[in-house]
């Protein structure tokens, strides 16, 4: 744990000095729950000696090392890339999904965003669509159900097509990329007072529906993805809380676009045609 | 950690049903219900605005106000018989209210089912505001007020001297009671909160999203809610101030 010990850090190449970051003394109030059906409760931990340069997850690593060496069960939490691109980290930190910093996933959140002496409350995402596995870890595979319902394009996988064979206007490509930035973390659901997954679904719908490659399945896609979403999650009442929580700052404009496409899809009602020959 | 892997996957909180024709199919979905909420909301906004504007006639005196009441009954006469347009509007409003309330009820149920265990620590909301989080309560207050309001000034009166066909006197008599005037003001503030969120939210639900007008949507909602509230609250104040009085 080099980061915990300023003495063991490499000196700056410019000044030759070691960077002595501020260290913090925190109280951590963490949700502990042994399994999906167990009773959970908050447990308080006294956490001295945290460098402000640590990420939130590194801070949890330190806490876990200490718990393990004390013979206690470490805190279970989700993480993978730790660089804000995989969407595995989660955590409700002080009542906000991914914590206080806008456009930042938990793994990219630094301890310097908190003050020395703070009490930090950490809870898992809560939604029926995200059952708790253990402690802070939840099962977000319901989001995969939504993607499976239409988050793909059907093409014949021959040899790779020539680049730029299908022209896409720059603005369209940009808008599609904005939607495609979604890392499927579920913060939108966690932050939503209704546990709605509309921002996630709208992003997944839009990044394909905007492009010519997605056009042929545009209406089937939006219909089956929304219908699948509604089996697991709540409904959007336009609070806009998702947009604030989203680490990729995906805009709720996409939700309006999805609503428009969904209405058109229902008018076309291709599902109805296919089942009633 | 075998125990943790033997968990059941998330159960659907809403079941899918058989296929149906377009309007039914649309209304079954939450997105469709939001369209219905938005459309009926627009109709009710139109009503609430017209109601406020029409009632401003109060300031022109009893003759003008009562004549306006009569005019509503005679709308489009003699093209159509007496009261027909009025009844069409009434039925339209009743249908709009019924759908608006049913959709709200169904969506509220759905949203509660989607998070049975609440967050155990305090939430720190950034965008969700007081108005958006209390829609169902402001809606209920407005709904209950509406029933009372109909008894008060359309059907039977609520204790103050009530004369059928003389709305001006009825308004003055009823609102000169201070608790009643306060109730009108409170209900209208609830209405204002409801309109403040609703008249912004409808743009999203309807899919009316365009960079050309997006930044006006919030301003429109503030302006519309303020206009209706200020207009409506002026009536009880005018009565209490003696500007509008029975004699
Ligand atoms: S829309 Fe944003 S908050 Fe929701 S899953 Fe995607 S990246 Fe996460
Ligand atoms: S751990 Fe991959 S996004 Fe946070």
**Chain B hits for A186, Cβ within 8 Å:** none
On the question of pLDDT at B83 being above 70, the answer is yes
Q: CB–CB of A233 and B123 under 8 A?
A: no
Report the pLDDT value the prediction gives residue B21, as an integer from 0 to 100: 80
**Ligand 1 pocket residue status of A250, Cβ below 6 Å:** yes
On the question of pLDDT at B203 being above 70, the answer is yes
Gap between the Cα atoms of B172 and B169, Å rounded: 5
User: pLDDT band at residue A274, thresholds of 50, 70 and 90?
Assistant: low
Ligand 1, atom nearest to A202 Cα: 1
Report the pLDDT value the prediction gives residue A5, as an integer from 0 to 100: 56
- How large a percentage of chain B has pLDDT more than 90? 74
Could you read off the pLDDT of B95-132 as tens digits, one per residue?
999 999 999 999 999 999 999 999 999 999 999 999 99
* Structural domain that includes position B214: 31-114+140-240
Beta strand A137-138 with A40-51 is unpaired
Mention every residue, 6+ apart, whose C-beta is less than 8 A from residue A223. Answer: A150, A262, A265, A266, A270, A271
On the question of pLDDT at B30 being above 70, the answer is yes
The reply to whether B121 falls in a domain is: no
The answer to whether residues A8 and A18 touch, using CB atoms and an 8 Å cutoff, is no
Query: What are the structural domains of chain A?
Result: 23-132 (3.10.20.30), 141-275 (1.10.1060.10)
Å from A162 to nearest chain B CA? 34
**Ligand 2 pocket residue status of A107, Cβ below 6 Å:** yes
Residue of chain B minimizing CA distance to A96? B124
B242 in contact with chain A, both atoms CB, cutoff 8 A: no
**Ligand 2 pocket residue status of A89, Cβ below 6 Å:** yes
What are the residue ranges of helices labelled H in A163-240?
A: 170-180, 187-191, 198-209, 218-232
A200 CA to centre of ligand 1 in angstroms: 5
The reply to whether B201 falls in a domain is: yes
On the question of pLDDT at A8 being above 80, the answer is no
The reply to whether B14 falls in a domain is: no
Could you read off the pLDDT of A110-169 as tens digits, one per residue?
999 999 999 999 999 999 999 999 999 999 999 999 999 999 999 888 888 888 888 999
The reply to whether B183 falls in a domain is: yes
Report the pLDDT value the prediction gives residue B22, as an integer from 0 to 100: 83
On the question of pLDDT at B16 being above 70, the answer is no
**Ligand 2 pocket residue status of A181, Cβ below 6 Å:** no
User: pLDDT band at residue A18, thresholds of 50, 70 and 90?
Assistant: low
Q: Using CB atoms, pick whichever of A95, A128, A257 lies closest to residue B207.
A: A257
**Chain A hits for B204, Cβ within 8 Å:** 236, 238, 252, 255-256, 259
Closest of B33, B8, B7, B51 to residue B101, by C-alpha: B33
Q: Using CB atoms, pick whichever of A100, A123, A139 lies closest to residue B119.
A: A123
Locate B147 and state its tokens: 């029933």
Q: Output the CA–CA distances (angstroms, integers) from residue B2 to A107, A134, A164, B7, in the order listed.
A: 27, 12, 49, 9
Length reported for chain A: 277
Gap between the Cα atoms of B107 and A194, Å rounded: 9
Q: What is the ipTM of this complex?
A: 0.89
Closest of A163, A170, A166, A61 to residue A107, by C-alpha: A61
B24 in contact with chain A, both atoms CB, cutoff 8 A: no
DSSP string, B136-155: HHHHHHHHHHHHHHHIIIII
User: pLDDT band at residue B25, thresholds of 50, 70 and 90?
Assistant: confident
Report the domain count for chain B: 1
More confident residue, A268 or A233: A233
B53 in contact with chain A, both atoms CB, cutoff 8 A: no
Report the pLDDT value the prediction gives residue B20, as an integer from 0 to 100: 76
**Ligand 1 pocket residue status of A206, Cβ below 6 Å:** no
On the question of pLDDT at B65 being above 60, the answer is yes
């Amino acid at each position: 744990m080099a980061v915990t010990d300023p003495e063991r850090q490499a000196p700056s190449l410019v000044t030759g000095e070691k960077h002595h970051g501020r260290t913090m003394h925190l109280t951590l109030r963490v949700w502990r729950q042994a399994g999906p059906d167990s009773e959970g409760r908050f447990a308080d931990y006294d956490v001295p000696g945290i460098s402000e340069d640590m990420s939130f997850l590194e801070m949890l690593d330190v806490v876990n090392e200490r718990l393990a060496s004390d013979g206690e069960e470490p805190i279970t939490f989700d993480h993978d890339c730790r660089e804000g691109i995989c969407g595995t980290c989660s955590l409700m930190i002080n009542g906000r999904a991914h914590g206080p910093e806008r456009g930042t996933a938990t793994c990219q959140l630094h301890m310097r965003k908190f003050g020395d002496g703070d009490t930090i409350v950490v809870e898992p995402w809560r939604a029926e669509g995200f059952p708790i596995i253990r402690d802070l870890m939840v099962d977000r595979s319901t989001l995969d159900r939504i993607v499976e319902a239409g988050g793909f394009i059907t093409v014949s996988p021959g040899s790779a097509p020539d680049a730029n064979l299908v022209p896409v206007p720059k603005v369209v490509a940009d808008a599609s990329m904005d939607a495609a930035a979604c890392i499927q973390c579920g913060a939108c659901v966690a932050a939503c007072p209704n546990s709605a997954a509309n921002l996630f679904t709208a992003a997944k719908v839009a990044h394909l529906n905007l492009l010519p490659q997605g056009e042929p399945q545009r209406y089937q896609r939006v219909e089956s993805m929304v219908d699948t979403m509604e089996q697991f999650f709540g409904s959007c009442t336009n609070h806009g809380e998702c947009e604030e929580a989203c680490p990729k700052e995906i805009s709720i404009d996409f939700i309006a676009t999805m609503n428009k496409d969904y209405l058109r899809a229902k008018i076309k009602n291709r599902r109805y045609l296919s089942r009633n020959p | 950690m075998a125990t943790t892997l033997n968990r059941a996957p998330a159960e659907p909180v809403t079941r899918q049903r058989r296929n149906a024709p377009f309007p039914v199919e649309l209304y079954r979905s939450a997105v469709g219900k939001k369209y219905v909420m938005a459309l009926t909301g627009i109709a009710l906004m139109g009503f609430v605005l017209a109601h406020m504007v029409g009632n401003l006639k109060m300031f022109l005196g009893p003759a003008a106000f009562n004549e306006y009441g009569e005019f509503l009954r005679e709308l489009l006469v003699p093209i159509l018989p007496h009261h027909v347009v009025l009844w069409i509007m009434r039925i339209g409003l009743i249908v709009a209210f019924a759908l608006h309330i049913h959709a709200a009820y169904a969506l509220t149920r759905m949203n509660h089912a989607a998070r049975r265990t609440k967050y155990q620590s305090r939430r720190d909301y950034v965008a969700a505001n007081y108005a958006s989080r209390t829609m169902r309560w402001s809606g209920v207050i407005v709904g209950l007020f509406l029933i009372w309001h109909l008894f008060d000034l359309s059907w039977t009166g609520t204790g103050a001297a009530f004369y059928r066909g003389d709305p001006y006197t009825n308004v003055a008599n009823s609102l000169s009671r201070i608790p009643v005037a306060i109730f009108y003001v409170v209900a209208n503030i609830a209405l204002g909160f409801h309109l403040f969120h609703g008249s912004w939210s409808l743009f999203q639900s309807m899919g009316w999203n365009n960079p050309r007008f997006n930044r006006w949507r919030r301003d429109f909602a503030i302006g519309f809610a303020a206009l209706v509230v200020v207009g409506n609250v002026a009536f009880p104040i005018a009565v209490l101030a003696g500007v509008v009085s029975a004699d």
